[in-house]
Chain A
Amino acid sequence: MRGIVSFAVYLPYRRLDRSQIAPFVGQGGGKGTRTVASYDEDSTTMAVEAGRLALRGQPGRDRVTPNQLLFGTTFPAYADKTNATAVHSALRLPADALALDLGASVRSAVGGLLLALEGGPSAGPTLVVSADIRTGLPGSGEEASGGDGAAALVVGDDASGTPVIAEFLGRASVTDEFIERWRVPGEVRTKTWDEKFSEISLVPLGVRAWNRALEAAGLTASDVSAAAVSAPVARVAKSMGGKLDGVHVIDDLSATVGNPGAAQPALLLAALLEQAEPGQVVALVVLADGADVLLFRATDALGSYRPARTIAEQVAASGALPYGKFLGWRGMLQVEPPRRPEPGRISAVVASRNEDWKFGFVGSQEPDTGAIHMPPARVSRDGLHTDEMTPVGMADATGTVVTYTIDRMAYSPSPPVVFAVVDFDGGGRLPLELTDLDAGEAAIGQRVEMTFRKLFVADGIVNYFWKGRLVRNG
């Protein structure tokens, strides 16, 4: 049996209240909120966060080590260079594991899931992760309805330590060529044709795929307990939902999260699985340049499965972002930077040499004293021992703020910098930049966890490293 072994969603901390848009721009906006990736996040960092949660073990379940990583986004950090390699590195996957980017469309993200599900046992455990940042001009529908986030699905074969929680029953796909939405690579504005045209083009394809998928799985609509519909616009999703033979369609999170593009299919599958009972059949319907319908049956193992962080927890753990700041983060509003030198590009050579530290957050530990060095060192703190330390992964360690400061002069893409000296629970100290908090929230004694972020970009090179964030849930 092959299917979903584990899943996780990552929603960034910040929320834009859509009602802030119209008073500022004169148009656009709406009700509810959307998720906003922080200025220090991109599709790669969010993929890492979702991947970390999906791979995390839990009582009675082993940590999965995938031998394949498939990464889908419409908003990649790099072209020419593979983005999945940074995810692979940050997740400390084996060097022999394959890591690939999927093309920059929603369809490809679903395609990655299909490839993983239908790869057969020889494919082994596969981490399918999708992440997206949805852009758009101020006042546009895309800006208001979009969302940012990531979702990760571990696909594999049933095994004792890592049982399948949702068995893959079958699927159908339909492909068609029409210009529904488009974006020139490198631009931030997605253009769309006409919502009515989207509806009449996509919905019939979805109906066709729905019927064929049921047929392939030997099921009827009455066997399906719930469906989720991923579609480029709400109008299409609503219309499609009405053509699923009365099957219950779950909420698509548009009121709180928005539509996170390439991450929406996996986000909604995660939502389906969070709500499903063992034995129930669920359907994921995706409309994007065609249609894909995937059917799963929740196994008994789902009953004891607990997502590392539920969608509801992450929807609740959020902080408001003023619209002006949102525009600044998106580059739509250029804000005067601090009068400090902008950082230069990092050295590819040094970064490569220090990959375990930079991407994996791996320190070193002295064997006799237990002292932890971050960054890793070769010589013990007393200077007496060389090359006796062992690597120690610190990415999942939590710690406590010993002291902190707010730096109003340091360069940052979004000043001021909140900086804290953090002592980790198992030992080790590091002065860290904190993120996802307001300057006034910092305090001595706060609990901190690590998060993979984009520190700055120089000469097009993204400088990825780890920051701290307050433990707000889980």
Chain B
Amino acid sequence: MGSHGIKDRVAIVGMGCTNFVEAWGKGLDDMVIEAANSAYASAGVEKDAVDAYWLGTANGGMSGITLARPLQLQNKPVTRVENYCATGSEALRQASYAVASGAYDIAMAIGVEKTKDGGFQGLNAVPPPHDGTGRTLTAAAMFSMVAPAYAAKYGVDYDKMREAMAHVAWKNHYNGARNSRAQFRREVSIEQIVNSPKLAGDLGVFDCAGVADGSAAAIVVRAEDAHKYTDTPLLIKALSFVAGNGSGVTSPDYDYTNFPEIAATAKDAYAQAGITDPRRELALAEVHDCFTITELVLMEDLGFSERGAAWRDELDGVYDLDGDLPVNPDGGLKSFGHPVGASGLRMMFEAWLQLRGEAPPERQIEAAKPGGDRSLALTHNLGGYPGEMVSFVSILSR
């Protein structure tokens, strides 16, 4: 019994990522064709050279045919996966294990979501037949309960708390303004963020991730084959995933100030990768900033900040683009919106750019570049709610 990981056994050798936008004129088929073709070109492989596919989409369609038909794949195994908002990361995880097992030489993980075709606000899923007793709250409302609980537990003056949450949004929009693929490419002032109309609890519009359409893809091979495709592959150091048992929702022990599933995946991932001091070893982290309070609290669950200290670290600029550990240098969900199936792979795409020194100069992290002090990137993806969550952490390395 044990979580052993696949450290150094699988490498990413090509990636593609569409612009994340409200793509009124493009369908799901258009988005996967664009992301897949970019990934083939990036790895320098023909479509038919890819042996197997994992498609991550939450609501885009059922079965692998959702991908096989638009790409016209010829007798390829295609698996559609879904794991809440960690769906894109799950596709990469499955493709990587398949390659590590020796079952396939080359696999693609691709994620896609068309969120804007439904006509409603936010993200919406069709539930299976149910008895009508489940919660119908929005994700914003569920996460909004964290901020007051956190402030009370650690005795943080709520104005400071509010300022720290606003700093998360300010930082991510600052970074997103420097990313041509981002949906929102404008800096936003702290004042605008704090005064934005409230959607749920104290979470205003600028505390919440947007909604966009997008697709991203990665091609993975066994590590020993990686240099056939590129001189600068990304090695997979760790992949960790936890599906929570939902006990936080119904157990009085849960206090809404942390996300145990995230802490568990971080611990597992660091063990797999051999990381002991993530804040000093990582060059960057791409994390699931669905709401500002989420990013703040998960700085602690990921071990970047001490418990009760994330708000201060955030205000001190630790996680800014020029800080000690840049978090969401691509702009995060805040700037990209959240096409559920694609987001996890979009995070990895930023690691791909940063660790290969291919990010544009205005947001390239010096330490992350080839030759820089730090060679590791973390991506983190969550789905669900406080108390009932799935969490994914990957560690990638140049």
**Is there a chain B Cβ closer than 8 Å to A423's Cβ?**
yes
Q: Interface readout for B80-102 with A: 1 if CB under 8 Å, 0 if not?
A: 00000000000000000000000
Contact in complex: A409, B138 (CB < 8 Å): yes
Contact in complex: B124, A340 (CB < 8 Å): yes
Contact in complex: A407, B121 (CB < 8 Å): no
Contact in complex: A410, B129 (CB < 8 Å): no
| Chain A, 374-431, CB within 8 A of any chain B CB | 374-375, 381, 383, 402-411, 417, 419, 421, 423, 427-431
> Taking A381-B245, A428-B252 as contacts, is the C-beta distance between A405 and B131 under 8 angstroms?
no
> Taking A349-B129, A371-B251, A410-B136 as contacts, is the C-beta distance between A405 and B200 under 8 angstroms?
yes
**Is there a chain A Cβ closer than 8 Å to B360's Cβ?**
no
> Taking A340-B122, A374-B250, A403-B145 as contacts, is the C-beta distance between A409 and B140 under 8 angstroms?
yes
Min distance, Cβ B103 to any Cβ of chain A, angstroms: 31
**Is there a chain A Cβ closer than 8 Å to B201's Cβ?**
yes
**Is there a chain A Cβ closer than 8 Å to B276's Cβ?**
no
| Chain B, 145-162, CB within 8 A of any chain A CB | 145, 148-149, 152
Partner-contacting stretch, out of A149-157, A202-210, A229-237, A353-361: A353-361
Taking a contact as CB atoms closer than 8 A, the residue among A338, A340, A375, A423 that contacts B133 in the complex is A375
Contact in complex: B133, A354 (CB < 8 Å): yes
Residues of B within 8 A of A421 (CB): 145, 256
Contact in complex: B122, A346 (CB < 8 Å): no
| Chain A, 323-344, CB within 8 A of any chain B CB | 338-341, 343-344
Residues of A within 8 A of B119 (CB): 339
Question: Which chain B residue lies CB-closest to A351?
Answer: B131
Complex Cα–Cα for A340 and B124 (A): 8
**Is there a chain A Cβ closer than 8 Å to B198's Cβ?**
yes
Taking a contact as CB atoms closer than 8 A, the residue among B120, B127, B132 that contacts A465 in the complex is B132
Question: Which chain B residue lies CB-closest to A372?
Answer: B250
| Chain B, 111-149, CB within 8 A of any chain A CB | 118-122, 124, 126-127, 129-133, 135-138, 140-142, 144-145, 148-149
Contact in complex: A407, B137 (CB < 8 Å): yes
> Taking A409-B122, A430-B250 as contacts, is the C-beta distance between A343 and B131 under 8 angstroms?
no
> Taking A381-B247, A429-B251 as contacts, is the C-beta distance between A350 and B141 under 8 angstroms?
no
A-side interface residues, number (CB < 8 Å): 47
Contact in complex: B252, A427 (CB < 8 Å): yes
Complex Cα–Cα for A6 and B140 (A): 46
> Taking A403-B256, A465-B132 as contacts, is the C-beta distance between A409 and B199 under 8 angstroms?
yes
Contact in complex: A346, B145 (CB < 8 Å): no
Complex Cα–Cα for A383 and B244 (A): 12
B-side interface residues, number (CB < 8 Å): 37
Contact in complex: B133, A357 (CB < 8 Å): yes
Min distance, Cβ B58 to any Cβ of chain A, angstroms: 15
Taking a contact as CB atoms closer than 8 A, the residue among B118, B136, B144, B256 that contacts A343 in the complex is B136
Question: Which chain B residue lies CB-closest to A338?
Answer: B121
Residues of A within 8 A of B132 (CB): 343, 346, 351, 358, 455-456, 463-465
Contact in complex: B245, A383 (CB < 8 Å): yes
| Chain B, 207-244, CB within 8 A of any chain A CB | none
Contact in complex: B141, A407 (CB < 8 Å): yes
**Is there a chain A Cβ closer than 8 Å to B275's Cβ?**
no
Min distance, Cβ A80 to any Cβ of chain B, angstroms: 20
Residues of B within 8 A of A404 (CB): 145
**Is there a chain B Cβ closer than 8 Å to A347's Cβ?**
yes
**Is there a chain A Cβ closer than 8 Å to B249's Cβ?**
yes
Taking a contact as CB atoms closer than 8 A, the residue among B127, B138, B145 that contacts A410 in the complex is B138
Residues of A within 8 A of B249 (CB): 429-431
Contact in complex: A341, B144 (CB < 8 Å): no
Contact in complex: A358, B131 (CB < 8 Å): yes
Residues of A within 8 A of B149 (CB): 403
Complex Cα–Cα for A444 and B147 (A): 13
Contact in complex: A409, B141 (CB < 8 Å): yes
Contact in complex: A408, B200 (CB < 8 Å): yes
**Is there a chain B Cβ closer than 8 Å to A14's Cβ?**
no
Q: Interface readout for A442-474 with B: 1 if CB under 8 Å, 0 if not?
A: 001000000000011000000111000000000
**Is there a chain B Cβ closer than 8 Å to A373's Cβ?**
yes
Contact in complex: B130, A346 (CB < 8 Å): yes
Complex Cα–Cα for A423 and B130 (A): 25
Question: Which chain B residue lies CB-closest to A379?
Answer: B245
Contact in complex: A411, B129 (CB < 8 Å): no
Residues of B within 8 A of A464 (CB): 132
Contact in complex: A381, B120 (CB < 8 Å): no
Question: Which chain A residue lies CB-closest to B253?
Answer: A429
Residue among B122, B252, B254 facing the most chain A CB atoms (10 A cut-off): B252
Min distance, Cβ A96 to any Cβ of chain B, angstroms: 24
Residue among B120, B126, B256 facing the most chain A CB atoms (10 A cut-off): B120
Min distance, Cβ B134 to any Cβ of chain A, angstroms: 9
Taking a contact as CB atoms closer than 8 A, the residue among B135, B200, B247, B254 that contacts A409 in the complex is B200
Residues of A within 8 A of B256 (CB): 402-403, 421
Contact in complex: B250, A429 (CB < 8 Å): yes
Taking a contact as CB atoms closer than 8 A, the residue among A340, A343, A402, A417 that contacts B121 in the complex is A340
Residues of B within 8 A of A419 (CB): 135, 137, 141
Contact in complex: A408, B245 (CB < 8 Å): no
Complex Cα–Cα for A87 and B251 (A): 30
Min distance, Cβ B154 to any Cβ of chain A, angstroms: 15
Contact in complex: B130, A347 (CB < 8 Å): yes
Complex Cα–Cα for A408 and B200 (A): 6
Complex Cα–Cα for A419 and B250 (A): 14
Residue among A383, A429, A430, A464 facing the most chain B CB atoms (10 A cut-off): A429
A-B residue pairs in contact (CB < 8 Å), sample of 15? A340-B121, A340-B124, A340-B138, A341-B120, A347-B130, A350-B129, A358-B131, A371-B251, A403-B149, A405-B137, A409-B122, A409-B141, A417-B141, A429-B249, A431-B137
> Chain A interface (Cβ within 8 Å of chain B)?
338-341, 343-344, 346-347, 349-351, 353-354, 357-358, 371-375, 381, 383, 402-411, 417, 419, 421, 423, 427-431, 444, 455-456, 463-465
Q: Which 3 A-B pairs give the minimum distances between C-beta atoms?
A: A347-B129, A407-B141, A346-B132
Extra inter-chain contacts (11) besides given A350-B129, A358-B131, A411-B136, CB under 8 Å = A339-B119, A341-B124, A344-B126, A354-B131, A403-B149, A405-B201, A406-B200, A407-B201, A410-B137, A455-B132, A455-B136
